Amino acid sequence: MTISTISNYKLSFKKVIISGVFILAISQLKAQQKPLYTQYMFNPMAINPSFMAMDEMLNITLLGRSQWVGFEGAPNTQTVSMHTPFKTSNSFYGAILTRDNIGQVITETGGNLAYSRRVKIGDISWLALGVNGGFSYYNALYSTISPSSVGDPVFIDDRNTRLNLGMGFTFFNKKYYFGVSSPHFYGRDLSVEKNNTKTFTRPHFLLQTGGIFKLNYDLKLRPSILMKYVDGSPAQVDINTNLLVKDLYWFGAAYRYQDSFSLLASAYITPTILIGYSYDIPNFNNPNSARKSSHEIMLQFRMPVKGRDPLACFF
């Protein structure tokens, strides 16, 4: 066997391995396409547009997530969101920008605008309805993985512009809330060339519930549950508990079913600026676990709005 033959066998074997890895990655993207957040309770507009109606302040949140740190090509996500009540009305407006990246191959960048309206039910409860819509650009440069594989359908680049529409509703009062949403309910490829044969958008359905309970003068407990479902993927459940100390510090823990455990901490460095961090520890009993930890950093600015009562905020 010549040296060139051995080299060709090595290249073929490498191609098979790379193809298998990315086929697996693509199948996972089809099932669970949108980024996950451990600190979702501080960035609620990302999971339900009607959550804006529970906040009486102007809220700007920046969030960065690095998943499976140390794993080459691991996902990373950056998000900027803003929402605010409109004057003294029961209307709320918001916007969110997101960049989701897997290695140097797959990137999706987009933004959504959101609107929410609430109505009072009884003396202390509200029902809010929210809608969101926007566009994103999906770019998958599969050809960069194996430039020599010209014509191989596995390595054909995939680019498209997508329309996204979503909705959600929330029932809430000062102590608890319950919401159902689908922030990525309808997606459509707007590209002239229909070359998105590898990926497609499926509706994402989420159920949220939680509450806030005053334990004593200095302590408040805030448990929450988030359930997520995408057709073709098992339902996922996040169970989270945060403790607010002296209205200044948050300490929390979370469990993502059969996936990971998380530790969370955040602090108000000024009355209007909150900084937070979460650390995800993989569930080593799960054979599908990436066996790598994930990190998330959050920075939030909260500012009063004229004519609104900041003490009426749920968050």
More confident of the two residues 117 and 108: 117
**Architecture of the domain spanning 3-312:** Beta Barrel (2.40)
Confidence band, pLDDT 50/70/90 cuts, at residue 257: confident
pTM: 0.81
Lowest mean pLDDT among 29-43, 63-77, 265-279: 29-43
Q: Tell me the range of 4-8, 40-44, 95-99 where mean pLDDT is highest.
A: 95-99
- Two tokens, residue 181: 């949403």
Q: What is the pLDDT of residue 173?
A: 92
Question: What average pLDDT does range 15-42 have in this prediction?
Answer: 56
CA 264 – CA 183 distance, rounded (Å): 25
More confidently predicted of 39 and 14: 39
Mean pLDDT calculated for residue range 134-149: 75
Least confident of 43-47, 198-202, 220-224, 277-281: 198-202
Rounded CA separation 292/74 (Å): 10
Mean pLDDT for 300-313 is: 87
Is a pLDDT exceeding 50 seen at residue 12? Answer: no
21's tokens: 């890895």
Mean pLDDT across the chain, nearest whole number?
82
> For position 286, what pLDDT does the model report?
57
Q: Phi and psi for 139 in degrees, rounded to 5?
A: -135, 115
Strand-pairing partners, residue 95, are 82, 113
pLDDT for 290 beyond 80: no
- 266 Cβ contact partners less than 8 Å away, ≥ 6 residues apart: 39, 42, 249, 250, 274, 275, 276, 277, 298
Structure confidence at residue 75 (pLDDT): 81
Residue recorded with tokens 């969370």: 264
Query: Which residue is associated with the tokens 């300490």?
Result: 251
Do 85 and 315 contact (CB within 8 A), yes or no?
no
Phi, psi dihedral angles at 86 (to 5 degrees): -95, 105
With a cut of 60, say whether residue 10 has pLDDT above it: no
Q: What is the pLDDT of residue 241?
A: 95
Q: Give pLDDT tens digits for 112-128.
A: 999 999 999 988 899 99
Comparing 274 with 20, which gets the higher pLDDT?
274
Whether the pLDDT of residue 225 is over 90: the answer is yes
Strands 58-66 and 75-85 come out as antiparallel
What span, in angstroms and rounded, lies between the C-alpha atoms of 174 and 213?
A: 10
Mean pLDDT, rounded, for 105-113: 90
The encoded tokens of residue 140 equal 């998958």
How confident is residue 270, by pLDDT bands cut at 50, 70 and 90? very high
Q: What is the pLDDT of residue 274?
A: 96
